[in-house]
Structure formats: C-alpha cells, structure tokens
Chains A and B, each alone.
Chain A
C-alpha cells in the first residue's frame, strides 16, 4: 500500500516550452502533496505544498508563476514548469500525505528527471 507514482519518469524538452509532471497516489487519498527539487548530488529542497482544492503554498525563492501547481483531486497533483530553461533541469520528486494519517508520514514518488535543452 501507500504507492505514489509520477509521470513521466523522464522528459526532455526544448527551452521555452512547458512541461507537466503528474503525481498520483494510487491506493490512498491525499489532501496534501509536496513537490521537491533535487539537483545532482544534492539534497531535496521543498518547492511547494499542494493542498486539494486550494492554492499551493510556495517556499521562499520559488517562482509560483513558473512552477504552476494544481491539486484538483485527492489523488492527483500536477506541476507545470512553464517556459522551461536549461537551469530548470533537475530531478523533481513529489510526495503525498495520506488523508487519515495520524503519523505525518509522507510517501514519495519515484521522481521525474527533466532535461531542458
């Protein structure tokens, strides 16, 4: 149980295009999902907290107009990187917090590697 999927697992795009990454909780409902970014050989940095039915909360320094987050259902959150540039190339990981969790444990997706040419 508690499986989180991400799609696509990797994507290559041209500079200036937009890319959408999906994060799904497969066997549980999640009112809260998180989006992280990981640079090569570095730690995960929280980008934003996504709450179902409301606007995402972005961490300081993260451009909300560039990284659009939509959490339209209890099992799906999407991250859209708009007008992507090479510096946006990174490993993006989502996590989901089960709705009824009493222990605040997040479950992580396998990640999406974005390469912007």
Chain B
C-alpha cells in the first residue's frame, strides 16, 4: 500500500523568505503526485501535479515541486513567500486508473510579517 510522509507538522517563515515543504512517498510503481493547499474551513486547491515527464513541475501561485525518484520525494518550493500563503499544505499520491489518493498528514505554514 502507498503512503505519504510530511515530516514537518508546522513551519514558520518570514514574508519574502524562501520555502521548502518536504514530502516523501512510498509506492511500488511510478506514482501520480500532488500538492494541495487548504485554507481554514475550505476544501482543497490543487497547486501542482506530477504524472510523468519533466521532474520539475511548475504550479500556481509561484509554487514548484521536484520529483526525485531516487529519494522518493516530491518537495514543494517557493522562492518568496507571501502572507497569503499561510495555510495547510497536503502532499498526496495517487495510484491506478481510479486514482485513489493517499494524503500526508499536512504541514501548517505560518507566515510572519
């Protein structure tokens, strides 16, 4: 069975600083990988996804992520964080044609001004 680990429960960064959120997955085949953002009381918004091809994926809101097969990682990065980026971030792995998603436990991002 697949699993996703987000080692950082809570991260605080200053506005304008760079950000990297870690995600490691476990799955026997090539996974579909996703990063979602959730604001308080809201559903999930897709930031970016990786299915195949270029391992550096660009997403919305200036986010990017890099798939590293050798490390089973899919870390999310942003060069300059904005206060509006404060939210909960979830990494997820999808498998199979029905694409059932397994989510990590999430990383709460706090942005200080």
**Interface positions of B from 2 to 55, Cβ below 8 Å from A:** 32, 34, 36, 41-46, 49, 51
Q: Which residue of B lies closest to A105 (CB)?
A: B49
Count of residues in B whose CB is under 8 Å from the partner chain: 24
* Residue ID in chain A nearest B88 by CB atoms: A41
Q: Is the CB of B43 within 8 A of A34?
A: no
A-B interface pairs (CB < 8 A), number: 57
Instruction: Report the separation of the CA atoms of residues A42 and B108 in the bound assembly, to the nearest whole angstrom.
Output: 10
| Beta-carbon nearest neighbor of B106 in chain A | A43
List which B66-113 residues lie within 8 A (CB) of chain A: 90, 94, 97-106, 108
Q: Which 6 A-B pairs have the closest CB atoms?
A: A104-B99, A110-B43, A108-B44, A108-B43, A43-B103, A43-B105
New A-B pairs, 15, CB < 8 Å, besides A32-B98, A93-B43, A104-B94: A6-B43, A41-B108, A42-B106, A43-B103, A43-B105, A44-B90, A46-B100, A46-B101, A97-B99, A104-B99, A105-B34, A105-B49, A108-B36, A111-B41, A113-B41
